[in-house]
Amino acid sequence: MELLPRRVGPLLPLQSAECGSTPSLLCRESGGDQYFRAREQERRVNIAQQLMRGPSSFIPVGQIVQEGSQKDGRHLFLEAFVSTGRVDHTTMVMGLHPEYLSRFWKTQYHLLHMDGPLPFPERHYVAIMAAARHQCSYLVNLHMAEFLQVGGNPEWLHGLQCAPRKLRNLNEINKILAHRPWLITKDHIEALLKTEQSSWSLAELIHALVLLTHYHSLASFVFGCGINPESDQEGGRPPSPRNCESTNQEDMMNGSGGRDAMQEVEALMERMKLLHKCQLEEEAASQEEMETRFEKEKTESSFVAPADLADRTLPPSVLCFVEDPEFGYQDFTRRGEQTPPTFRAQDYTWEDHGYSLINRLLPEVGQLLDEKFQIVYNLTYHTMAMHSGVDTSMLRRAIWNYIHCVFGIRYDDYDYGEVNQLLERSLKVYIKTVACYPEKTNKRMYTGFWRHFRHSEKVHVNLLLLEARMQAALLYALRAITRYMT
C-alpha cells in the first residue's frame, strides 16, 4: 500500500528546556545528563497527555484501540508510523474500518502526491481553501505545514489575497461547492476556463474540484467524529469548541445506553423486518407516489437543523482564507422561495457519466473514487448494536439517500417513505448538521442517536456522510462541466 509522505514535525514534539526559549550549549555543558533526563521526562509527560486526550473528543481512546484491534487495523497503523513517522488522529478513527482506510489513503495520496496537472503546492493550497470554508482549523493547519514542506511560497499563507489570481478565481466555485452545490452552472466553469489571464485547463480544474469536494467532506468527518488536533499543531485548538462539550450523562448514554436505548434497537430491527416483508408482498408504488414521498421528505428536511445556527467568530488563521464568510448552507427547499429543479439521479449518474469524465481527464482518480464509494456503501460486518447476522443494506441505503435528498438529489427507484421509518429524528439532525453545517456539530448530537450502538457503527455513519456528500457535490460540478463541453 502507498502511504502519505513524512509530514512536517514529529508526532510528539519535545518541549523547550527551562533555560530560555531554546536549550543552549551552556545548559548542555553544565549538566548534560540532567538535561537529557529532563527532556526524556518532558517527552513522557507529553506522550501521557496525548494518550489521555485521545484522537477524538467524542470517542474514548480505549474504545478506538479495542475496536480497532478487533477489526485488524493495527497493521495499518504500523505501516503509517513507519512511512510517515506518525499516526494522525483521523487515521486512528478511520482505522476502525481498515478496508475503507486503505482505499482512502490511496486516493488521498494520489490526489496530493502523484503526477497530475496541478503543482504540488497548489494542491495543498486548494485543500486549505476548502477546509477554511467549514472553519476546520485542524485541516487548515495540517496543509499549511505540508504546503511549506513541498516548497510553497510562505507569502501565500498570509491570506487568499496574497495567492495568485488563478487560485483566487477558484473562490466562487469553492464556496458554492461547500454550501449550495446545486447552484453551479456551466457559466461558472466557463469563467474559470476562458479567463484571458490566469485561466485553468480542464484537467487542472477537474483536479481542483476533486480536491475541493474531498476536503469539504473530510471536514465533515473531522467535526462529525470530534477529531482532536495533534499535539504539534499550532495552537493545539480543537476544530470547534463545541466538540469539547460533554457531560457524564452523555458519556454514559454513548455506547452503553439503558433500557430505553435497547428498546430503540429492537424497534428499529422490527421496522426493518416489516419493511422487508412489505417489499416482498406489496406492489411497488407508482412513480407519482414515489415522487410525492420524495418531495415530502425534502420539505421535511428543511425543518431538521441544529438548534444553534449563530455564526461564530473565525480565528484569523482561518478567516484570511475565506471570502464572503456569510455565505453558507441554505435548505434546498426554502419556504416562500422558488425551489431549484430536483437533480434526478438517473439523468446524470456517477456510474455512467461522472466516473468516465474524471477518468478521462484525471487518469486513475475516477477508479479510485469509485472503489471508495463502493467500499463504504457496501461495508458491513452483519452486526447492529448487540445483534449479529443482520442485513444492514436497507439502513445504509436510507442514510446515503437521505444525505443526497438534503442536497436535492432524487433516486426514482427509491421509496423515500423508508427514510422516516428507519432514521429517527436525532439521527437526521446529526446527519444534516455534519453534512451541511459541520462546524456546528457537538458531542450531544453524537451521543443522542443510536445510543446502544458501537462507536465503530457511528464512525461508519460518518464515512457514509463523507462519501455521499462528496459524490453529491461532484455530480453537480461534473454535470456543469459536461454541459459546458456540449
Residue 186 CB partners (closer than 8 Å, separation 6+): 480, 481, 483, 484
Q: Whole-angstrom Cα distance, residue 470 to residue 108?
A: 13
Place of cell 480543537: 238
Residue 287 CB partners (closer than 8 Å, separation 6+): 412
DSSP E strand boundaries for 192-324: none
Residue 378 CB partners (closer than 8 Å, separation 6+): 396
Are the CB atoms for 225 and 58 separated by under 8 Å? yes
Is 225 annotated as catalytic?
no
C-alpha grid cell, residue 181:
452545490
Give the CA count within 13 Å in the CB-facing half-sphere of 218.
28
Q: Whole-angstrom Cα distance, residue 442 to residue 447?
A: 9
Q: Whole-angstrom Cα distance, residue 333 to residue 340?
A: 8
- What torsion, rounded to 10 degrees, do the Cα atoms 334, 336, 338, 344 define? 40
- Taken in order 373, 377, 380, 386, the sign of the CA dihedral is positive
Are the CB atoms for 199 and 169 separated by under 8 Å? no
| Active-site entry in 27, 136, 162, 244 | 136
Q: Whole-angstrom Cα distance, residue 267 to residue 335?
A: 33
First vs last C-alpha separation in the chain: 39
Give the CA count within 13 Å in the CB-facing half-sphere of 425.
6
Are the CB atoms for 236 and 137 separated by under 8 Å? no
Q: Whole-angstrom Cα distance, residue 131 to residue 211?
A: 10
Q: Whole-angstrom Cα distance, residue 234 to residue 236?
A: 5
Q: Whole-angstrom Cα distance, residue 466 to residue 408?
A: 17
Q: Whole-angstrom Cα distance, residue 54 to residue 72?
A: 19
DSSP E strand boundaries for 222-314: none
Q: Whole-angstrom Cα distance, residue 19 to residue 30?
A: 11
Are the CB atoms for 26 and 200 separated by under 8 Å? no
Q: Whole-angstrom Cα distance, residue 248 to residue 191?
A: 53
Residues labelled as active-site residues: 136
